[in-house]
Amino acid sequence: MTGSATQNPLLNEVVTFIQNDIPGFGAGMYRLTVTQSLTDATGAAINDAPISLTYDFGVSGDRFAFAKPDQSVLAVFPPDNASGGYDAVFPHVVLPQSNLPWLRSPTIDHPEPDAENDLPSWLWVMLLDEADQAAHTGLSLTPTIGVVGDLFPTAVYGPSTLGTEVSTFSQAKDASALEPGQALDSPIQYIDLPLALFWQIAPTLADLRLMAHVREVGFTQKPTLPGITDQGVPTGKFAITFGNRLPLDGVNSACFLVSLEALEDILPTEQGLPPQPGMDSGKSIRLAMLRTWRFRSTGQPATFVNALLALNDGTSDGLGHRQTALRLDYAGTDPLVAGALEMGYAPLNTVLRTGENTVSWYRGPLAPYAVTTSAPPIPLSSADAALSFDPTSGMLDMSYSAAWTIGRLIALQDQSFSVPLYVWKRDLHHVLMASVSGAMLSDRLAALGDVVLPQRLQSRLEAAANPGALGSFKAAHHLVLNALKKGI
C-alpha cells in the first residue's frame, strides 16, 4: 500500500500485534555498586583499596492495587454489567501501560529481559460464576476489602486475617518484600479461592506466557481520551491480558484481574493437578485483586450456525420432500408463493421512487439451486436499473438492486475510494460547464461579425480554448462581457 496517510486514510488504521513489551528493569529494589581502582604506568595500584560507591534505587509499579484506577484500565470485555452472547469470548483487559504484564513475574526470581522468547505474565483474568459458587460452599464472588498486611502471616502483621490460606507472602518472615511507597496498612481488595478450584481453573506457567500481548494502534481514527490518545502521537501501545475460561450461558459471571506474583510453586500442572503430590486441597489461596466486573452471557440460541445445523433434521413438505434450505415457513396454498419461498426468496415492503408502496421479492447471494439468469449489465446508472419484473406473480425482484445498493454504500464508506470519486466528478462537472459556456460564448462572438478584439482579450480567449483551462476561461468570459458592455 503506497501513498501518505493524508492521501490514503487506511494508512491511519494501524493495528500491530507485538509479542511483549519487556521493561529494562522489573519492578522492585536494586543496588548499584561502582568501583574504581587507580594504577600507575607500570600497572601498580596507587590506592590501597578500590574507591567504591553504592546506590540503592527502586522501580515502582502497581502491585496490589492500581494507584490510578480511572487511568490504569482502558477497557474490559465483556463490558461491565453487560449481557449478550459472550460464550465464545475469553474475558480480557486493555491496559494503557504496555509493559505492566511483564513488570513483575509469577516466578520466584524475576527472569532476565528476553525479547525473543515469551515471558509469563503476572496478571490473570480469573472468571468465576454461580456454578462455581454452587459447587464450592462459602465461595464469594464479592472481593473482600482489606490491607496489604492481610497477605502476610500474623507473625509479620498482627491484625492479619490470613489463617491457613496460601498467598504470595504466606511464608514471609518479615515485611522486607514490600517496596517504597507500600505499607502493611495500605488498602487493597482480595479474594479467597479454594485450592481445589484454583488448580482446576488457574493457568499453568506455560499458559501465562501466552496470555498477554501488546497491540500498537493508530490514534488518527480514534476518539480522544484524556491522557491516552491526546498526546499528539500517531500511534499508541496497549497491553491485552486474557483469561483462560469461557463464560457459561444463563448464569451471572464475575471477572477478577488478580496478581499471581511469585506463585510459581502453587500453579497447577498441565493436567490441572497440584504442582506437588500431597498438597492440601482443603486450603484456600488468597489473591490480591486489582479490578473486578460482572456480566451475563445469554447465549445465541438462534445463530446462523444453529439454523444450518437444524437443516440436518429438516421436515418434509406435503409431498414428502425434505426441506433442506433456509426458508420462511408458509402454511398457504398459493403455488407461486410456496415456490418462491422454497427458492430462498422473502417478500419485503418496498417504497418506489414514485412514492408508491408495494411488495417485492428479495433473496441473498446464496441460492439452493443453479442460477441460470444472467446478472444485469454493468455499469448501472442506479439501483432501479437492476430491478427485474416477474410476470408470473406481478412482483419486482429487488435482489440485484439491493446488492448494488449495498456495494455502493460500502464503496462510499471507504474514504480512499469516495474522496477521489468526488474529485473526479467535480472536475468532470467543471470541464463540462466550461465546454458548454465556451460554445455559447463562441456563438455570441460570431454574431458580432469581424470585430477586432484587443490583444489582451484575444490572448485570453485563445488560452480559454482548452476546456480544462477553467480559470483562463472565466477570466476571458468576464473580459468579453465588459467589452460588450463598452461597445467594443
pLDDT for 335-394, tens place per residue? 888 888 888 888 999 888 888 898 999 988 887 778 887 888 888 888 888 888 888 778
Both 20 and 59 in one domain: the answer is: yes
The answer as to whether 481 is a domain residue is yes
The answer as to whether 208 is a domain residue is yes
Query: What is the reported pLDDT for 337?
Result: 85
Q: Quote the cell numbers at residue 54.
A: 553504592
The answer as to whether 234 is a domain residue is yes
Both 280 and 377 in one domain: the answer is: no
Both 90 and 113 in one domain: the answer is: yes
Both 284 and 389 in one domain: the answer is: no
CB 148 within 8 A of CB 159: no
* Average pLDDT of every residue of the chain: 83
CB 412 within 8 A of CB 451: no
Please give the average per-residue pLDDT across 424-453, as a whole number. Answer: 75
Radius of gyration of the chain (CA): 37
Q: What is the DSSP letter of 362?
A: E
Q: Quote the cell numbers at residue 334.
A: 398459493
Dump pLDDT digits (tens) for 218-274: 777 666 666 666 556 677 889 999 999 999 988 999 999 999 999 999 999 888 888
Both 394 and 477 in one domain: the answer is: no
Both 348 and 428 in one domain: the answer is: no
Both 392 and 420 in one domain: the answer is: no
Most trustworthy range by pLDDT among 29-33, 106-110, 146-150, 247-251? 146-150
Torsions phi, psi of 383, nearest 5?
-65, -30
Q: Which of 250, 282, 297 corresponds to the end of one domain?
A: 297
Dump pLDDT digits (tens) for 286-330: 999 999 999 999 876 666 666 666 666 666 665 666 666 677 777
Q: Which of 371, 397, 412 corresponds to the end of one domain?
A: 412
Q: Confidence class of residue 2 from pLDDT cuts 50, 70 and 90? A: very low
More confident residue, 314 or 118: 118
Query: What is the reported pLDDT for 125?
Result: 97
Please give the average per-residue pLDDT across 75-83, as a whole number. Answer: 94
User: What is the count of structural domains for the chain?
Assistant: 3
Query: What is the reported pLDDT for 469?
Result: 47
Dump pLDDT digits (tens) for 405-431: 998 898 888 888 888 889 999 999 888
Please give the C-alpha separations between residue 342 and each of 328, 337, 454, in angstroms, as whole numbers. 8, 9, 78
For the ranges 73-77, 329-333, 338-342, 449-453, the lowest mean pLDDT is seen at 449-453
More confident residue, 109 or 316: 109
Q: Confidence class of residue 483 from pLDDT cuts 50, 70 and 90? A: low
Residue 467's domain spans which residues? 416-485
CB 193 within 8 A of CB 139: yes
Query: What is the reported pLDDT for 167?
Result: 94
Q: What is the pTM of this model?
A: 0.61
